[in-house]
Structure 1
């Protein structure tokens, strides 16, 4: 059997004649005689032959059928419908006990090629076929040898169902099974076996999206619920790994770059009015990418890895937009706002400001830290440094006895005191407003670095999990 397979060859070469010996000169009459012998052989073989019956001498014995699959090309992998379209060469070999002859009686003819419809053929089909038309193999010739061995090599474009697992998309791998077996003959009638332990990949045309890692073959004998007889089958498991470069450059990298834009919304000045707009725009962009991924994936319970990354990023951007709205509310606190609490003054304006390098105009990271609340304490106390005019008025009022001052001096002092108190209240309100603005600025800078770190860690986790 192995020698006969070797003489048949592979692919389209299987349809060619057996390689003749070195060319010698033969009279034309001899060539015509060999053609007459071939015609006589064909007539004698099929004079009383029926292609409807299993070709065995003893009907109680099983007929051995050898199967070999050659993968030529992966045409398409439809993940959403879970259908694999592939181009295969299906090779079958068996022994027909009714088609034997003595080659010496027919001028040494050892093999002939005849249409496959002339002989009995095993009804080997693809069990997990997903084709609407359920088409079979192409009607090609078979190679019939003098000892009764038949070789049938036929190409076929098959659509097989394949359970697609997209949990690690676009860094996923798939295992698609191609199960071949007889539809009507059980194991007691046809003994189906695989010729090799793997599928033939020597003539495989490389696919731009999928890399073939292997195609192991296993023989199974299954007893179905409908019948008590065993039914053998040969299952080829196609091991595929997705080439992720296309999806990395078109789906993953744009998402990562857009995600790094979200923390920059905290860096925008609050008076620009574009902080919330940036967050909403980034959220819409990620929604578009999420829809593109969802359209190509099957509606399964398992969420793709890139889909999880999109959802996590969108959640983070939603949180950053909500925090931006809260910080803008803090920034725009009016003059009537309460003073900054002592704990916030100590934690935010002192420790977090130094941590995030947020200083007022004229200060830097190398400047000595200013005591928190020093200016506010002096201003609220109404010290001489805050209102020089008030000090002069106070001195003049203290130096001039009340009973010796003219009567109009009392009204003047009251007006000056009212103006001084208004000035103190105005400056205190400005200080409270500036402190709240600084609190908002420190929180902006702090959350910017926090969200930058979150985006970086998420990207590293996604790539690390994929690896």
Structure 2
């Protein structure tokens, strides 16, 4: 500090008088007073050039609301511009149900919409009554802010315009409005049942403008992240493979073009439950059909066993039909497999009846045409060989090699068979052996043909 004596006090009083009268002479200032004077002048100049921004307060926000909605005569019925670009994104939370029979998908999530409304912008301070730049964003609802009229085009529960007065909207300084109404969306889903129960289904959520044509509202996917499944909760029956957004398309209604876009949800059924409760029993029952030909004819259970297998398949076919939609666009491989197996079982009943008839005919000789047909395949299918008229080798023949002995036996047997027709009982045994081999081979081939596409489809889509 500068030391101040009596003369200094006199000069200070003079300075005060000069300041009061406006006749201030800078030469009269002390060094400390001169410095303070400079600071005061600089502060005054800075305040004049760039006034301080008002700090955030509820009063300041209320003033901004009044200016935006009241002073500017904001209208809910007036869209922000001639053509409004509405950006759309989907956040999927969970899949509640995918009903393949009734062909619908129920999912929980929320759609996010954003558009720019220049009437709600306060970033330009020259266009407002005061500086509101300390207010980053405002919150409002659709009761006070214009919203686009949008519908879920393939909804089967509610076809009204998307609306929720309780969901707040965020309005930024530059007039961008962000709105994310949530809901449970129940939409139709055309099911592909070809590979049921190891199938993969793709369902769509279609969004379209309502009332506003394409030239008035245009829909587009949100830039960067049109879909978000980071909050997805797993479903017990279906695995989520992918969620994707599809570019907007244009649909015509009565000559007017409307903007539309969609989101696809691809799901794959978890197969463990259906493999254990459907595929495994069905395949096992299929291999019961050939075993009827190994059941002894004299047991009296042949026909009962055959009918039991037939009825079991009929019951399973009825149960599975309850889970398959009544559509002719795609054919379920499982239904084809069950249908063919049921056909095999039905034909088997008739074959068993004929075998029983032949068996109880006893030792009667079969007609010549049957005898001739059996002789062509008899040596490969006959289970029992007749013991009579067989050649017994002598002691000298015991030293013959095996090839000569086999040739002699086959020659003698063939000669005997040419003169001795087979009986009906032998004929029934031949039929049992033949149809057992035939049915077992048919079931193995049919099962492989059925399972192979299911496995390829499951692994490919995985």
- The question of a shared fold, defined as TM-score above 0.5 by the shorter chain, is answered with yes
Are residue 438 (structure 1) and residue 462 (structure 2) matched? no
Alignment match, 2:334: 306
Are residue 54 (structure 1) and residue 82 (structure 2) matched? no
Alignment match, 1:192: 219
1:353 Cα deviation from its structure 2 partner: 5.0
**Which deviates the most, 166-175 or 151-160?**
166-175
Alignment match, 2:145: 119
Alignment match, 2:49: none
1:166 Cα deviation from its structure 2 partner: 1.5
TM-score, normalised by the number of residues in structure 1: 0.72
Question: 1:349–1:439: 8 Å Cα contact kept in structure 2?
Answer: no
The C-alpha deviation readout for 1:343-382, integer Å capped at 9, x for no partner, is 655764785354464446999xx9966726859979xxxx
Alignment match, 1:4: none
Q: Quick one: distance in 2 between partners of 1:436 and 1:81?
A: 55
Q: Quick one: distance in 2 between partners of 1:91 and 1:309?
A: 46
Cα 1:128–1:223 shift into 2, 3 Å: closer
Alignment match, 1:97: 118
SS of the equivalent of 2:115 reads: strand
SS of the equivalent of 2:118 reads: coil
Alignment match, 1:72: 93
SS of the equivalent of 2:183 reads: strand
Q: Quick one: distance in 1 between partners of 2:332 and 2:312?
A: 19
1:81 Cα deviation from its structure 2 partner: 2.2
- Unmatched 5+ stretches in structure 2: 1-53, 391-404, 457-462
- Pick aligned residue for 1:371 from 393, 398, 413: 413
Question: 1:73–1:204: 8 Å Cα contact kept in structure 2?
Answer: yes
Alignment match, 1:143: 170
Q: Quick one: distance in 2 between partners of 1:234 and 1:375?
A: 80
Q: Quick one: distance in 2 between partners of 1:181 and 1:85?
A: 19
1:183 Cα deviation from its structure 2 partner: 0.5
RMSD (Å) for aligned C-alpha atoms: 3.2
Alignment match, 2:436: 448
Cα 1:68–1:340 shift into 2, 3 Å: same
Q: Quick one: distance in 2 between partners of 1:198 and 1:132?
A: 24
SS of the equivalent of 1:215 reads: strand
Q: How does 1:26-37 map to 2 (within 5 A)?
A: 34-37=57-60
Q: Quick one: distance in 2 between partners of 1:455 and 1:315?
A: 12
The C-alpha deviation readout for 1:66-98, integer Å capped at 9, x for no partner, is 101122211111222221111121000111122
Question: 2:56–2:134: 8 Å Cα contact kept in structure 1?
Answer: no
SS of the equivalent of 2:155 reads: coil
Higher CA-based Rg:
2
Question: 2:101–2:326: 8 Å Cα contact kept in structure 1?
Answer: yes
Cα 1:295–1:325 shift into 2, 3 Å: same
Alignment match, 2:242: 214
Question: 1:170–1:305: 8 Å Cα contact kept in structure 2?
Answer: no
1:189 Cα deviation from its structure 2 partner: 1.3
Aligned residues: 375
Cα 1:122–1:288 shift into 2, 3 Å: same
Are residue 109 (structure 1) and residue 160 (structure 2) matched? no
Question: 1:70–1:199: 8 Å Cα contact kept in structure 2?
Answer: yes
SS of the equivalent of 1:98 reads: helix
SS of the equivalent of 1:261 reads: coil
Cα 1:198–1:259 shift into 2, 3 Å: farther
- Unmatched 5+ stretches in structure 1: 1-30, 379-430
Are residue 38 (structure 1) and residue 61 (structure 2) matched? yes
1:32 Cα deviation from its structure 2 partner: 10
Alignment match, 1:422: none
Cα 1:375–1:448 shift into 2, 3 Å: closer
SS of the equivalent of 1:325 reads: helix
Q: Quick one: distance in 1 between partners of 2:75 and 2:428?
A: 89
Alignment match, 2:29: none
1:276 Cα deviation from its structure 2 partner: 1.4
SS of the equivalent of 2:57 reads: helix
